[in-house]
Structures are given as structure tokens and as C-alpha cells.
Amino acid sequence: MEVQSIQVEKNTAPKEKPMTDQLEFGRAFTDHMFVMDYSDELGWHNAKIQPYQPLSIDPSSMVFHYGQSVFEGLKAFRTESGEVQLFRPTKNFERMNKSNERLVIPEIDEEFVLQALIKLVEIDKDWVPGADGTSLYIRPFIIATEPFLGVAPSRNYKFIIILSPVGSYYKEGIDPVKIAVESKFVRAVKGGTGEAKTGGNYAAGLKGQEDVAKDGYSQVLWLDGVDRKYIEEVGSMNVFFKINGEVITPALNGSILPGVTRDSVLQLLQHWNIPVSERRVSMQELADAHADGTLEEAFGSGTAAVISPIGLLCWDGKDYHINNGETGELSKKIYDTITGIQYGKLEDPFNWNIQVTQKAKVNQ
Ligand SMILES: *Cc1c(COP(=O)(O)O)cnc(C)c1O
């Protein structure tokens, strides 16, 4: 499909934009959305940008019953000079196709949907907030829409992109969180859908999160589903530990979601010549490192927060304070560097940014 083939229907009743200081995560949506359909006969077709609006779909649509769906999450940023840029969007569409394969959803044309996204963000560019820490959150997703109650891959799908202006994740500076190690539930197992970005993984994770929230923990640390020993992820983020000068993150083992932020952190560490390894890491190894004073820092990584330092881990009723509950030096440096690149304040040595709009040319 050609980008020129995208029909554009402009919103004639644009909404009032929320005040930047009142932006919450994922509550407000822009004036337009991108939609395209899939059928076995036509493949992906009917690509259009239209006013943001509710969908009308059959209650027997397969997604409502068996959860055949995938999603992505990425952001657009406004730079100081007013340009709008996307952070590593090609990685997200590449990952979406991996998720599609696992969920038996037809492949998307990565280049086409990237061009569609650029066009959509361009149309809604005034919705990209400019204040410090704010951004435009982008949610591409695919749902199975065939009206059928049989358990089989759907023959019809909708691919949709919606956009949401979001406020700063950290109101007063990057802030460490309290995490409980989950011993009862598991998020995913090897061979399951843990490495695909699909809604069911989140539904399965809610109970653990809900249970520990009562005791003041903001998230759970997920252990592997077989031995219940090895660390996988923290909430819906990847996780890193700095032990004795070396940074360690669980290796992608089939049940861990391959985060774009995780990949960015790994690239930066290598660039800085900081020792880093992707390998299996057990909770016992962390406890031992804590006991001998070599557990220096711990943090989660994901698009929403970029870096979320862990100040306290509770495992089997015992509290492990990390770096006195403060943000570690390296955690802060990674956070400052990635956000600096995203907002165009720092050089982009890895070519992570893709421009959506150029600043207005003089004399034009
Ligand atoms: C999306 C996600 C992440 C983080 O991925 P990013 O691409 O860095 O945002 C990590 N873990 C899970 C389970 C996720 O769904």
C-alpha cells in the first residue's frame, strides 16, 4: 500500500486540549486516529485517518472472547526548537510483527504503518505538548473482529493507532519505588506469550499487582514460572541490577518482553564501556550481593517512565534497601541521556530519532 492511498477525513469539531499541567497518562486523546482493516480476501486495506471516535463492532467479535490482540507503546517528543520527533518507532513495528506471529495475526507492512503514523502525528502535531517531561504517547493495536465464537484465528482484523498527550511521569524528579517479589503468581512462562505484547499478559498480571498495592508496593518483581527463582521483569518493565560495577539484566529467554528501552540502555552501557551482561540472575544472587554490599543499583526500564529506580525490594517478608532508597548515579545518568536524546537536547549518536516535522523554514 502507498501512503498516498491513505484517505484523510479531517475532524471539523476539534476538541479543546487539556492543560499541560493536568495531563494524566492515557486519559485524553487527540482529534484523529488511524484505522485499517484486514480480510483474507483483501489483506490490509481501507487505510484512513479519521476523527477520533468510538468503534462500532459486533459483540461476537473474536477479540472479546479469546483475546486475540496485540499492542505497542511509543512516544513522540517536542524539541526545544518546536520540532516533533519519534523515538525508535521502527523497533515497535518490528516487535508488533513478532507479536502478530505469536498471536496468529497477519503481518503488517512496517514501512507503511510507520509512514501512516508519521502522517497521523503530523496532522495532530499541535497535540504534542511542549513542557518538560511531557510527550505524545502512541498506541498502535490490532484486534480480531470476525463475528464468530469458534476458537480459531480470526479472518478479520482492525489495526488502529490512537494518540494521547501525557504529562511528566515524575512530578518532582525521578523517584525510587518499593517493589514486592511475587511468590504466588507468575506473569508468563517460556513457550507462552510473555515475549509478545498482548493484552492477556496484562490481565494475568493484575492480581499480583493488586495484592501488593494494599501493602504500599507500587509493583511486583516477577520470577520465572518454572523454578520461581530467576528474575524476569518488574511490573510491565524490564529490569536491571548493578552489582559490583557490572550491570546485569535477565537474558531474553522466551518469557521476557524485549523492551525497546531495554535495548537502548544496553546500547548506551556498551557505548560507555560499562561492563554489562544479559544472563540469568536469581533472587538469591541479589540477596547475597545485598548482604556483601555489592548490590549498588536496581531499576526498571520502559517507554512510560524510561527508568524507574527500585529503592526497596521485599522478598519472603524481608526488606532489602537498595542505595539507601535513593536514585543511583548510573540510573540517573541513563535517564538523563535517553530523555536528553528524546527531547533533542543531546546528540543522537545512534540515530534513534525520526523527524515528524521540520521547524518552519525562514521566508516560507
Ligand atoms: C512494553 C513492555 C516492556 C517495555 O518495553 P518498552 O519497549 O521499553 O516500552 C517491558 N515489559 C513488558 C511486559 C511490556 O509489556
Atom of ligand 1 at shortest range from CA of 201: 13
Å from CA of 288 to ligand 1 middle: 28
Position 3 scores a pLDDT of 78
DSSP state of 107: P
Contact 93, 328 (CB under 8 A): no
Residue nearest to atom 13 of ligand 1 (CA): 236
* Mean pLDDT across 289-313: 97
Cα–Cα distance for residue pair 27/342, rounded to 1 Å: 22
Handedness of CA 18, 21, 27, 30 (dihedral sign): positive
Whose CA is closest to 1, among 106, 110, 95, 133? 110
Cβ burial of 29 (10 Å; 0-12, 13-18, 19+) is middle
In tens, the pLDDT along 212-228 reads 999 999 999 999 999 99
Position 173 scores a pLDDT of 75
- Among the listed ranges 120-134, 163-177, 242-256, 306-320, which one has the minimum average pLDDT value? 163-177
Position 362 scores a pLDDT of 46
* Mean pLDDT across 343-349: 97
The β-bridge partners of 248 are: 241, 277
Contact 159, 140 (CB under 8 A): yes
Mutate to test the pocket of ligand 1, among 257, 263, 264 (most ligand atoms within 8 A of CB): 257
- Asked whether 116 lines ligand 1 (CB < 6 A), one says no
Residues 6+ apart with CB under 8 A from 78: 84, 128, 129, 130, 134, 135, 343
- Asked whether 262 lines ligand 1 (CB < 6 A), one says yes
Contact 187, 204 (CB under 8 A): yes
- Asked whether 247 lines ligand 1 (CB < 6 A), one says no
Place of cell 472472547: 65
Residue 35 pLDDT more than 90?
yes
Residue 360 pLDDT more than 70?
no
User: What band does 324 get if pLDDT is binned at 50, 70 and 90?
Assistant: very high
Contact 74, 353 (CB under 8 A): no
3-state class (DSSP) for residue 36: strand
Residue 50 pLDDT more than 90?
yes
Atom of ligand 1 at shortest range from CA of 197: 15
More confident: 87 or 357: 87
Cβ burial of 200 (10 Å; 0-12, 13-18, 19+) is middle
- Asked whether 298 lines ligand 1 (CB < 6 A), one says no
Cα–Cα distance for residue pair 288/285, rounded to 1 Å: 5
Cα–Cα distance for residue pair 264/284, rounded to 1 Å: 27
Position 357 scores a pLDDT of 83
Residue 339 pLDDT more than 60?
yes
Share of the chain above pLDDT 70, in %: 98
Position 364 scores a pLDDT of 34
- Asked whether 236 lines ligand 1 (CB < 6 A), one says yes
Contact 83, 355 (CB under 8 A): yes
Position 359 scores a pLDDT of 55
* Mean pLDDT across 185-209: 95
In tens, the pLDDT along 253-268 reads 999 999 999 999 999 9
- Asked whether 73 lines ligand 1 (CB < 6 A), one says yes
Position 361 scores a pLDDT of 44
- Asked whether 100 lines ligand 1 (CB < 6 A), one says no
List % helix, strand, coil for the chain (3-state, nearest 5). Answer: 25, 30, 45
* Average per-residue pLDDT for the chain: 95
Å from CA of 326 to ligand 1 middle: 24
User: What band does 1 get if pLDDT is binned at 50, 70 and 90?
Assistant: confident
In tens, the pLDDT along 100-128 reads 999 999 999 999 999 999 999 999 999 99
Hey, what domains does the chain have and what are their CATH numbers?
3-171+349-355 (3.30.470.10), 177-326 (3.20.10.10)
